Structure 1
Amino acid sequence: MKTDVSDEESVKNMVKKTVELYGGIDVLVNNAAITSVKSIFERSLEEWERVIRVNLTGPYICSRYCAEEMIKRGGGVIINIASTRAFQSEPDTEPYSASKGGLVALTHSLAVSLSKYRIRVVCISPGWIETSEWKKKSLRKKPDLRPIDHEQHPAGRVGNPLDIAHLCVFLADDEKAGFITGVNFTVDGGMTIKMIYEE
């Protein structure tokens, strides 16, 4: 259902309709995000605030209203999708990097605050995930990946959305992941562990 995660009323409506449709909420995956790639000297304050509002305030709003419904069911799981950009950056990505760093911190804060309600909160920080074939039909296209794109990953390939989805399914399962909360999982094919020197 169409929802603007940065708008409190829109989120409340989404939660209400979800509960009406499915009888409750057990798992929330905060995945909506936007970016702004331009110089700090050219980016307007409004652009900065829009990225922060969608990428960080949005997960906070969604967590707040979904947690209310999870409490009614005796617990639940919130999974925040951050990014390796929370820990390393490319030029001109300040709002995106800041919002994802904030999301990692929001994860451990919510994990402590919501623990008494049996709600676990975890975070996933994906690296390069190729989504070209996974977009809506009008934007879908074949990935344009070079051999070096795959080879630079210690895992031997660029990631795809299933790499993240499978971890979400695991983390949402109380039987398998019930002792996991408040932590961040880096899923990047090993890229952030590499030392890179220019020769």
Structure 2
Amino acid sequence: MPEFEGKIVVITGAAQGIGLVTALSFLKNGAAVAAIDVDREAIEDAMEDFFKGYEGKIQFFECNLADMEDIESTCQEIAQNYKWIDILVNNAAVSSTKPISQRTVEEWNYVINVNLRAPYLMVKYLLPFMKEGSSIVNIASTRALMSEPNTEPYSASKGGILALTHSLAVSLSPKKIRVNAISPGWIETSPYKKRKYRHKPNLREIDHLQHPAGRVGRPEDIANAILFLTSQKSSFITGTNLIVDGGMTIKMIYEE
């Protein structure tokens, strides 16, 4: 029997990239997937190009994760359709890259609301329908630990995800719900974007060699980690952050 047979999995940002590949991985392992995304075009492309044959096992819910009321109503709709939830993967995220002087407060709030507030609200509204022994995975980022210029809201939101994760792990422990985070590094998602942005990876040798593992990451690397953290193989793991970056964040860099 497939490992996740009979399990109900909710995934945000499931129409492209890491979320799409994670949804496929759960489907291939027997789960049913409630997939959330805001991009109607990406949803339609994903259903036609990646989820053929799984139409009876995956259902998309269009939701704006920056809108609190939309999140609540979507969670209610999911609960009505599925009755219970076994696994929640808070994957969806947005970014804003511009100098501090040019970024508006509204742009800051948008990133924080989608990346940090929405995962909390997803837990809040789905918690009554989560069984004892359920599992939550929050997708953080190595940008919670290191930064590039002009990425303050993204880095702050991902740092917040790490704190939210260990806080939820303690709060939900009486219900035996495990909560963990994954911090992806450089993950090449171009083959899993919606059609008009989809293309083969265009990576240089130097891109691969800056990783001690010898290559840039793939969405499957994160999906595999998610499946591990939501399986019984990880039943003694909660409140942790699993860095999946090919060793990139441990490599010391010197100017030459």
**Shared fold (TM-score greater than 0.5)?**
yes
1:62 equivalent to 2:115? Answer no
1:170 equivalent to 2:243? Answer no
Give the Cα separation in 1 of the matches to 2:172 and 2:120: 13
Moved more, 30-39 or 59-68: 59-68
Deviation at 1:46, TM superposition (A): 0.7
The CA deviation string for residues 68-92 of structure 1, in whole angstroms up to 9 with x for no partner, is 211xx22311100000000100000
Judge conservation of contact 2:79–2:126 (CA < 8 Å) in 1: no
1:186 equivalent to 2:243? Answer yes
Which residue number corresponds to residue 19 of structure 2?
none
Give the Cα separation in 2 of the matches to 1:112 and 1:52: 23
Give the Cα separation in 1 of the matches to 2:217 and 2:74: 30
Give the Cα separation in 2 of the matches to 1:18 and 1:157: 38
Give the Cα separation in 2 of the matches to 1:7 and 1:118: 29
> What does 1:145-156 align with in structure 2 at a 5 Å threshold?
145-156=203-214
> Structure 1-normalised TM-score?
0.95
Which residue number corresponds to residue 48 of structure 1?
108
Query: How many pairs does the alignment contain?
Result: 196
Deviation at 1:109, TM superposition (A): 0.4
Give the Cα separation in 1 of the matches to 2:112 and 2:223: 24
Decide which of 119, 139, 144 is 1:81's aligned counterpart: 139
Which residue number corresponds to residue 93 of structure 2?
33
Which residue number corresponds to residue 163 of structure 2?
105
Give the Cα separation in 2 of the matches to 1:66 and 1:180: 21
Deviation at 1:11, TM superposition (A): 1.7
Q: Tell me, which stretches of 5 or more residues in structure 1 are unaligned?
A: none
Judge conservation of contact 1:38–1:93 (CA < 8 Å) in 2: yes
Give aligned-pair identity as a percent: 59
SS at match of 1:75: strand
Give the Cα separation in 1 of the matches to 2:181 and 2:68: 22
Which residue number corresponds to residue 179 of structure 2?
121
Give the Cα separation in 1 of the matches to 2:137 and 2:213: 24
1:137 equivalent to 2:195? Answer yes
Moved more, 162-171 or 10-19: 10-19
Give the Cα separation in 1 of the matches to 2:135 and 2:68: 21
Deviation at 1:31, TM superposition (A): 0.6
Deviation at 1:105, TM superposition (A): 0.4
Which residue number corresponds to residue 40 of structure 2?
none
The CA deviation string for residues 135-175 of structure 1, in whole angstroms up to 9 with x for no partner, is 122221121110110111000000010000011111111x2
Deviation at 1:63, TM superposition (A): 1.2
- Hey, which bits of structure 1, 4+ residues long, moved more than 3 A? none
Give the Cα separation in 1 of the matches to 2:84 and 2:195: 30
- Residue 65 to residue 75, structure 1, CA distance change in 2 (3 Å): farther
Give the Cα separation in 2 of the matches to 1:144 and 1:57: 34
Q: Which of the two has greater strand per residue?
A: 2
